[in-house]
């Protein structure tokens, strides 16, 4: 169910909009949560357990750190002024341990799924080169969709709780929605908790302004993807499949076309993602406005 497909644009997205508007405002965040898990499951099936595990770890990790902060404040009231610094350092160390442990688990899962086979193949190549035989077995590993995005978003949330930029979210379902909002679960953009959380579970009714802005953004993204990027792909593939038969000027033009194709591909997808979020009044951060420019 890719974002530019008929299934997403004309079945899934309209169904979510209708369900969202039909339920009471206080329950609308639940529609988005269920929709996020359905969207995730449509790509990854039972691998949704990874997302659930991440949500549980991040939820209780954040609550644990906040509990330590409260304990620290209570302890400070009971000790002399001279002892307060030592108490703060003691509890801050405990918080760092919780943060470090949670982040290491998240990165270990991500690293294992994404890079274990690459690591194993290279180790086995070295062992074979030295005549030692196979050391590590290559495994069949399947990546859950969007694991890099929701892992980094989860780490950002934990860091914000640690630095007291936000309070820990006490509601497991609402934190789950923050990590699996369906427009951004597959391609990003990665957002901070403070950027999207409130809009996700406020439950405002669909507004004409948001529907118009979101729809126009989606249409613009479809134009970039289907009209520009897909057409350029045909040209680029034709040239680079038999580049020896073309002049240098043609190959250079194809290289430029390839750059434009990639930009339109990803930019168009981001437009559809951001437009989809806007339909529900959620303004996702812009992350692909000027990829070739820096400050």
Report the chain (295 residues): mean pLDDT per 10 consecutive residues: 89 96 94 96 92 96 94 84 84 94 96 81 70 68 88 96 94 95 89 90 91 96 94 91 86 92 92 95 81 53
Q: Is residue 136 part of a domain?
A: yes
Q: Is residue 288 part of a domain?
A: yes
What's the number of domains the chain is made of?
A: 2
Q: Provide the 10 A C-beta neighbour count for residue 12.
A: 20
| pTM strictly above 0.85 | yes
For residues 99 and 198, membership in a common domain is answered with yes
- Residue 268 lies in domain: 207-295
- Please give the angle made by the CA atoms of 52, 55 and 59, to the nearest 5 degrees: 145
Burial of 245 (0-12, 13-18, 19+ CB in 10 A): exposed
Q: What would you report as the CA-atom Rg of the chain, rounded to the nearest whole angstrom?
A: 24
For residues 15 and 83, membership in a common domain is answered with yes
Long-range contacts of 235-240 (CB under 8 A, 24+ apart): 236/261
For residues 181 and 217, membership in a common domain is answered with no
For residues 198 and 216, membership in a common domain is answered with no
Rounded to whole angstroms, the Cα distance separating 260 from 109 reads 35
Q: Is residue 185 part of a domain?
A: yes
Residue where a domain terminates, one of 170, 205, 240: 205
Residue where a domain terminates, one of 177, 205, 233: 205
Are 278 and 213 spatial neighbours (Cβ–Cβ below 8 Å)? Answer: yes
| Per-residue pLDDT at 86 | 86
Residue where the block lists tokens 């860091």: 159
Q: Is residue 1 part of a domain?
A: no
| Per-residue pLDDT at 129 | 66
| Per-residue pLDDT at 243 | 82
For residues 164 and 86, membership in a common domain is answered with yes
| Per-residue pLDDT at 136 | 65
| Per-residue pLDDT at 259 | 93
| Per-residue pLDDT at 293 | 54
For residues 250 and 282, membership in a common domain is answered with yes
| Per-residue pLDDT at 120 | 73
Residue where a domain terminates, one of 205, 223, 242: 205
């Amino acid at each position: 169910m890719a974002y530019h497909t008929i299934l997403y644009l004309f079945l899934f997205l309209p169904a979510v909009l209708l369900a969202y508007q039909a339920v009471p405002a206080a329950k609308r965040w639940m529609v988005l949560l269920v929709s996020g898990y359905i969207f995730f499951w449509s790509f990854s099936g039972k691998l949704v357990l990874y997302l659930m595990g991440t949500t549980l770890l991040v939820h209780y990790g954040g609550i644990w750190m906040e509990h330590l902060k409260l304990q620290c404040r209570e302890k400070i009231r009971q000790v002399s002024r001279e002892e307060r610094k030592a108490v703060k350092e003691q509890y801050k160390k405990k918080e760092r341990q919780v943060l470090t442990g949670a982040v290491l688990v998240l990165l270990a899962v991500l690293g294992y799924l994404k890079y274990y086979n690459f690591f194993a193949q290279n180790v086995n190549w070295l062992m074979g080169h030295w005549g030692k035989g196979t050391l590590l077995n290559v495994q069949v590993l399947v990546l859950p969709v969007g694991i890099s995005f929701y892992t980094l978003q989860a780490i950002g949330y934990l860091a914000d709780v640690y630095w007291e930029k936000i309070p820990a979210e006490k509601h497991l379902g609402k934190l789950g929605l923050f990590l699996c909002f369906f427009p951004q679960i597959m391609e990003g953009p990665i957002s901070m908790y403070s950027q999207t959380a409130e809009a996700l579970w406020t439950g405002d009714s669909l507004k004409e302004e948001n529907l118009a802005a979101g729809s126009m953004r989606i249409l613009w993204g479809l134009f970039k993807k289907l009209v520009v990027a897909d057409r350029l792909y045909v040209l680029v593939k034709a040239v680079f499949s038999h580049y020896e038969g073309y002049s240098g000027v043609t190959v250079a033009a194809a290289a430029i076309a390839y750059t434009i194709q990639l930009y339109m591909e990803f930019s168009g997808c981001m437009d559809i993602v951001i437009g989809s979020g806007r339909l529900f009044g959620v303004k996702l951060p812009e992350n692909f406005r000027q990829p070739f420019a820096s400050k």
